[in-house]
Structure 1
Amino acid sequence: MKKFLVVVLAIIVINEWRDIRNLFSPPPDFAAAHEERVVMYATQWCPFCQKARELFAEKGISYYEYDIEKSEEGNTQYQRLGASGVPILLINGEVLKGFNRSTVLALINEK
């Protein structure tokens, strides 16, 4: 029975980790400086950045893009968000590292 409870607790923590993490260490609100609900930190050569651009165009989602190789401000923000690759997306105050179509759409549809 104890193992079962540990597994259930682990599943709950994993599913809610984003909310738990943001409660104790909220990401900087760089998106507040833009009218768009989505901010993307990207490069021109990144195939996943291109997939994000295509999704935004397909769904009519307005976004602000920083090319981290050309924008000093964008690169600074990118570093403060825990840079580990591109794209990094800010969606409704959430930080998403990498591109996952279903996660992006879920975050956009939250608000």
Structure 2
Amino acid sequence: MKRILLILAVLATWQQWDRIEPMLFGNNQQVAGKGEVILYATSWCGYCAKTREFLDERGIAYTERDIETSTDARRAYDALGGRGVPVLKVNGTVIHGYDPQGILAAY
């Protein structure tokens, strides 16, 4: 029984690490960078919400374009090879999905 609880605790910690890490080590991961960040997203997407939260926590300015309400945003999303949301264009680099390390590397 103790092993099962330990395994569940480790899995829960791993799954929520992006929220736990700032509590343990402080939220000093502000990113000093320049450039254009465009987030192609929808209002209902959970990973889009996580991406918004990630960008906000690090002080990264971004422009959000909702692909369901804007035909221009949808065309741009399709041109980037959008297959799902979120899709980010960070300084010319296209990132598909929620990818914190990819965002930081491109920024």
Interval of TM-score (by shorter of Structure 1 and Structure 2): 0.5 to 0.7
Q: Please give the alpha-carbon distance, in whole angstroms, between the structure 1 residues aligned to 2:55 and 2:82.
A: 22
Structure 1 match to 2:46: 47
Q: Please give the alpha-carbon distance, in whole angstroms, between the structure 1 residues aligned to 2:46 and 2:100.
A: 13
Q: Please give the alpha-carbon distance, in whole angstroms, between the structure 2 residues aligned to 1:101 and 1:95.
A: 13
Structure 1 stretches lacking a partner, 5+ long:
1-35
Q: Please give the alpha-carbon distance, in whole angstroms, between the structure 1 residues aligned to 2:39 and 2:68.
A: 13
Supply the AA of the counterpart residue of 1:59: R
Structure 2 match to 1:80: 79
Structure 2 match to 1:61: 60
Report the Cα offset of residue 49 of structure 1.
0.5
Q: Please give the alpha-carbon distance, in whole angstroms, between the structure 1 residues aligned to 2:90 and 2:57.
A: 17
Structure 1 match to 2:105: 106
> Per the alignment, in what secondary structure is the counterpart of residue 95 of structure 1?
strand
CA RMSD across the alignment: 1.5
> Per the alignment, in what secondary structure is the counterpart of residue 86 of structure 1?
coil
> Per the alignment, in what secondary structure is the counterpart of residue 57 of structure 1?
helix
Supply the AA of the counterpart residue of 2:37: V
Report the Cα offset of residue 41 of structure 1.
0.5
Structure 2 match to 1:37: 36
Q: Which runs of 4+ in 1 moved over 2 A?
A: none
Supply the AA of the counterpart residue of 2:67: I
Q: In the TM superposition, what whole-angstrom CA distance separates every residue of 1:44-64 from its partner, at most 9, and x where no partner exists?
A: 111110011001110111100
Supply the AA of the counterpart residue of 1:40: L
